[in-house]
Chains A and B, each alone.
Chain A
Amino acid sequence: MSGNGDTVAAAFADAVRQALAPHFAAYEGPADRALEWSGDHWQSVADLGLPKLLLPETQGGGASLAEGAAAVEALGALGDPSPAADTAVLAWLLARQGATVADGPLVLAEPGCRVAWPQIACAIDPTGEPVAALAADSGALLNGVPASAPLPGATGDVAPFRQAMAAARAVQIAGAAAAALELTIGYVRDRSQFGRPLARFQAVQQHIAVAAAEVAAAAQIARTAFADLDRGLDRDDPFLAASAKIAAGRAGTIAAKAAHQFHGAMGFTAEYPLHRLTRAIWQWREDFGNEAWWSRRLGAQVCKAGADALWPTLAGG
């Protein structure tokens, strides 16, 4: 049931975990301060070929979107705060639009939003043009990533970028939520209270089972939405990306709540690694449209298409 297959995607996900996990010490610091950029970590990201993963083989990539989803899920399971997933997806989008892709970390600069890793990553607008240097004077995002002040202007026409990044964040959340539950399952099996492991209490079992079911469903649609990005963008149809971001935001919220509940006060400490995952979930569910934002748009899209189009839309034809 868990990552025991021998597929290319699984092997790649393992490689991502093994290569990046040792570098996470660099991101451990006082929890009340913004993370510092780790050049060593990014070098490992680059050595793995993640930034160019989804580019054509001639440009150093060659992975399918389905394989890319496995890599992004692995990044999510690490709570990776770097813009590794962003870079892979944005480079793919830019190449798709025929723009040249520079080396180095990429992030999306959306009007009205804060931009992650200013001064480190190259922030691009939806035409692929770099945005003028951004000041990092606005503190940190929920996962400790430094960010710029909100960009001027309302949300512009960034639809394809938002759609692609929403699918990516959904996959990352699915990875982080599964990892948070795995950590929780290990903890409740080890931790004894009232003379028996917490895992033996039905109240604990049932709560974790509910979260696991939501995460399993969200992971499935997140992977599907990511693998389907090409088609979704071609048709200007955000149905799957929107559904994935809504389902993942919901599942991530439920999983984070369960994970913290059963870790007790220990999980609330800066020292215990759970917050790397749960803070990531809380940030990622906001990025590129949260559940409420996408639900209204998805509902509007469904209603506009009409009642009799709903089932064919869900069934893919």
Chain B
Amino acid sequence: MQFFADTPLLDLAPYAGLRTEVRAFLAEERERAGIDSWVGSWEGFDRGFSARLAERGWVGMAIPQRYGGHEKGLLERYVVLEELLAGGAPVAAHWIADRQTAPLILRFGTEEQRAWFLPRIATTEICFAIGMSEPDSGSDLAAARTRAEPVGNGWRINGTKVWSSNAHRDDWMIALCRTGGRTGDPGEGRPDDRHGGLSQFLIDLSAPDIAIRPIHNLAGDHHFNEVVFEDHDIPADRIIGNPGDGWRQVMSELAFERSAPDRFLSTFRLIVELVRAAGPEPDRLAAGEIGALVARLAAVRLLSIQVAGALDRGETPNTEAALVKEVGTALEQDTPEAARRILAETPPGDRAALLEELLAYDVLHTPSFTLRGGAREVVRGIVARGLGLR
């Protein structure tokens, strides 16, 4: 039951210079925004920030140069990602496209799709939303009912997607739709084959016949949306890959979504401010709590880097990505609780307002940490399958 026991430890030291550049960029951006720290981790949506990041060459790093990208390795890209997340930068505008849409199109898309979409992702000209969940299909993704029927020279989409973060601000969505399941349907799916007959489509969200309705979360924020398609027609060339390959494609997408540093750095700014409040001579309780958090963070980060290395080698480390998500999100959920124990004894210090804001944000968003990217129980099920328990 060992993971990566035979894989050499990866060295990110060659990218030290790059780290310094990203940190300097973030310092400039904080100054521009007039803040000490961002609050809201990677859920902050700021097209201006994303565009300036792209100008520096830090979006589309893994996209080949012929498609407008920077053709860097996934480890070099990892360094930029973790620097952005550790800084709490507002990366939501370009995050989905850069993290999972670009690799998906690169791997399964047509030449025309690559040539049109990838350069625009690299400049952040177009932003992507995820179209996986539906009212009756959450953790059970294979229960998706949104249908794409072949009509004339294209596809007709009917159905509803939910929890699509930032769909009201994004330009495109990748929607998982059912194309099979009936006699003569495209794709090989049969009614008893839940994973067959699913396909992925590129949907232009600016179309006037798509209804995008807000769903506010318990903190009052508008990230989520309900996206309704009623006889929405799209051209034939908007399907990604072959009809019926959607399930396999979506699973490969999720390996990117589950192992990245966004699965353990969401509460990092709170840890930083706790250290500041505790001061150079912390009491025993604060020291012990901070030490325990930092140790867990250091551990999951190294596991996550190993997964990045596996992805870089072209492997599909689904089990390993799930391990990262399990320990990482558990740490994220434990962070505000540790903060409450520390702040029961330690005065909040000079940045009391910021600390309070970060803690409030993290407490209110705690439920989402073990839901987004796949519910905790589903993720544990993937680990269990990898261990031979299912």
Chain A complexes with chain B = yes
Interface, chain A (partner B; CB < 8 A): 1-7, 9-10, 13, 66, 70, 73, 178-179, 181-182, 185, 188-189, 199-200, 202, 204-206, 208-210, 212-221, 223-224, 227, 239-240, 242-244, 246-247, 250, 291-292, 294-304, 306-308, 310-311, 314-317
Chain A CB within 8 A of B143 CB:
no
| Minimum Cβ distance to chain A for residue B102 (Å) | 24
| Minimum Cβ distance to chain B for residue A73 (Å) | 7
B residues less than 8 Å from A188 (CB atoms): 389
B residues less than 8 Å from A223 (CB atoms): 5, 9
Q: Are B292 and A216 in contact (CB under 8 A)?
A: no
Knowing A205-B384, A315-B86, the reply to whether A299 touches B290 (Cβ < 8 A) is: yes
Among B56-64, B130-138, B208-216, B298-306, which stretch is in contact with chain A?
B298-306
Which residue of chain A has the shortest Cβ distance to B274 in the bound complex?
A307
Q: Are A299 and B287 in contact (CB under 8 A)?
A: yes
Instruction: Give A221 to B326 CA distance when docked, in angstroms.
Output: 16
Q: Are A213 and B383 in contact (CB under 8 A)?
A: yes
User: What are 12 contact pairs spanning A and B, CB under 8 A?
Assistant: A1-B3, A1-B320, A3-B5, A209-B387, A212-B383, A213-B383, A220-B306, A303-B275, A303-B278, A303-B280, A311-B268, A315-B83
Given contacts A199-B388, A212-B323, A213-B326, 20 further A-B contacts (CB under 8 A): A10-B5, A73-B5, A178-B2, A181-B387, A199-B389, A209-B326, A209-B380, A210-B326, A212-B387, A214-B327, A217-B324, A217-B327, A220-B4, A221-B298, A247-B296, A295-B292, A296-B291, A302-B291, A303-B286, A310-B275
Q: Are A295 and B288 in contact (CB under 8 A)?
A: yes
Q: Are A298 and B2 in contact (CB under 8 A)?
A: no
Partner of B282, one of A178, A209, A299: A299
A residues less than 8 Å from B12 (CB atoms): 315-316
Chain A CB within 8 A of B295 CB:
yes
Knowing A2-B1, A189-B388, A217-B303, the reply to whether A302 touches B290 (Cβ < 8 A) is: yes
Instruction: Give A206 to B302 CA distance when docked, in angstroms.
Output: 23
Instruction: Give A42 to B12 CA distance when docked, in angstroms.
Output: 39
Q: Are A205 and B298 in contact (CB under 8 A)?
A: no
Which residue of chain A has the shortest Cβ distance to B386 in the bound complex?
A1
| Minimum Cβ distance to chain A for residue B328 (Å) | 9
Chain A CB within 8 A of B352 CB:
no
